[in-house]
Amino acid sequence: MQLTPTNAWAAYRLGVGDVLEIAVVGSPDLRYKTAVNIDGEIVFPLIGSLKVIGLSLLEVRNALGSALSTKMVRMRAADTRDSVSAITPEEVLVNIVEYRPIYLDGDISKPGEQAYRPNMTVRQAISAAGGYDITRFRMSNPVLELVDLRSQYEVFRSEIIQKEARVARLQAELDSKATFELKILPQSSTESVPLPQVRNFEAELLNARKVDHDREKSYLNNAIKQADARLSTLNAQQQQEGEGVRLDVAEFERVKGLLDKGQGTVIRVTDARRALLLSSTRQLQTSALATQVEVQRDELSRRLQKLDDDRHMNIMNELQTTSMELDAARSRLRAAQEKIVYVGTVRSELVRGTGGNPEIVVFRMGADGEEQITAGQDMLLKPGDIVQITLKSEPSER
């Protein structure tokens, strides 16, 4: 449809995306289509670019006529003869051949760009976009979707039960308790994991891990006691052997002194030296063995201390991880619950055959900037309008 400056749309203001057809009477070569570009300009032969954004068609025609009035072009007269003459403003024609589009967004079947037609209403634009879309989740079947969501909901509940039981068990381990209390929501009859089964499993695991830890701790304590007893025996043996070495040294000195006086024999000196060497060797062996046992005992004590430290650290790490997993499972449960409520509402609307009450807001560029207009379905649209459509669920009948 063409629009000239003489009809009802003469006051229309051009915007980016509008397509104009400009012609000069008597000059077929000067019929040209041009779109208002992003800079708000059009391009036309002989004059180049011209700023037209925000102007009416009459103002554009006057601007073109003024710019072309100094140009000489070949004109064709009524008798088909050509002549060269100047262009007068009255010979310039300006029409709109394509308006900038409108945009629809929200709860409609085909949101996006729509071609504008003069006197188009909101209702017509929605109809051209496929009508309202009450299935905002793009569900193939809200009834089946609701069944799937309820199944997910029960799975998430079961996961939360297991995580809460694990957290309670880990906290009991951390506090060195033999039992734990499990405070959770009442169980649904459709949950896949029975609550008593979860509680019994975690209780058995708590007991098994405690027994294993106590067994390892008892083993290390007994080993330390045995090392202490052996070390005590070796220390006593060291004292006896030290006394024996002292006596052997005294005996060796005595027989050596007799030999020096000519009253002893070499054989007796040799036997005394051999006895001293033997007792000294036994003392060194006992001392080395005692040192080895002491090192082993220190290692056992270190393992005993590390056993408790490692257990505490492992429980803390596992408790932190499980608590984070529990928070994530609770978030998924809340999301599933909200979806169930929403899809249930959508299903009810489908059963009643209604799409709810549409809330329509039109965003339009005016002289003072963007305007936000609350609209009805029979409101006339303008090129470039952005229409936001939101369906409001109808109140449930009680």
Residue 26 lies in a domain: yes
pLDDT at 398: 36
Asked whether residue 10 is domain-assigned, the answer is: no
Residues 6 or more apart whose Cβ sits within 8 Å of residue 94 = 4, 5, 20, 21, 22, 57, 60, 61, 64
Please give the pLDDT value at position 9: 55
Measured distance CA(100)–CA(13) in Å, rounded? 11
Bridge partner residues of 350 (DSSP): none
User: CATH number for the domain including 50?
Assistant: 3.30.1950.10
pLDDT score, position 390: 85
193 and 329 part of one domain: yes
Does residue 199 belong to any structural domain of this protein? yes
Which pLDDT value is given to residue 190? Answer: 45
What's residue 158's pLDDT?
85
Closest by CA to 149, choosing from 163, 137, 164, 160, is 137
Please report the DSSP string for 304-317 in residue order: HHHHHHHHHHHHHH
- Residue-level pLDDT at 300: 92
| 327 and 363 in a common domain | no
Q: Can you state the percent helix, strand and coil of the chain, rounding each to 5? A: 50, 20, 30
pLDDT of residue 196: 81
Per-residue pLDDT, 21: 93
Asked whether residue 339 falls in the same domain as residue 374, the answer is no
pLDDT at residue 86, as a whole number: 78
Domain count for the chain:
3
Radius of gyration of the chain (CA): 50
Q: Are residues 82 and 118 in the same domain?
A: no
The pLDDT tens digits for 209-267 are: 989 999 999 999 999 999 999 999 999 998 998 888 899 899 888 888 888 888 878 88
Residues 6+ apart with CB under 8 A from 230: 293
Q: Clarify whether residues 168 and 268 are in a common domain.
A: yes
Residues 327-360: tens digit of each pLDDT? 998 898 888 888 888 777 666 655 554 445 688 9
Quote the pTM value. Answer: 0.43
Cα–Cα distance, 150 to 129 (Å, whole number): 33
Calpha distance 15→39 (Å, rounded):
10
Task: Name the maximum alpha-carbon separation found in the chain.
Answer: 171
Of the candidates 173, 23, 28, 183, the one whose C-alpha atom is nearest the C-alpha of residue 94 is 23
Q: State residue 176's pLDDT score.
A: 86
pLDDT value of residue 192: 52
Q: Which residue has the tokens 């369906």?
A: 391
From the CB of residue 181, how many other CB atoms can be counted at a distance below 10 Å?
Answer: 9
Q: Tell me the per-residue pLDDT of 80-105, one tens digit each, with 9 for 90 and over.
A: 666 777 788 888 899 999 999 999 99
**What pLDDT is stored for residue 68 in this prediction?**
84
C-alpha–C-alpha distance, residues 98 and 269, integer Å: 132
DSSP string, 4-18: -TTSTTTTPPP-TT-
Q: What is the CATH number of the domain that holds 368?
A: 3.10.560.10
- Judge whether 60 and 12 are in contact, CB under 8 Å: no
Are 74 and 193 in the same domain? no
Residue 383 lies in a domain: yes
Same domain, 115 and 232: no
> What pLDDT score does 8 carry?
46
Q: Are residues 203 and 274 in the same domain?
A: yes
Domain annotation covers residue 378: yes
Cβ 19 vs Cβ 33: under 8 Å: yes
Q: Are residues 259 and 203 in the same domain?
A: yes
Counting as low any pLDDT under 50, the low residues of the chain are 1-8, 137, 189-190, 353-355, 396-398
Both 293 and 318 in one domain: the answer is yes
| Same domain? 346 vs 244 | yes
Residue 118 domain boundaries: 102-132+355-390
Please give the pLDDT value at position 252: 86
Say yes or no: 38 and 170 in one domain.
no
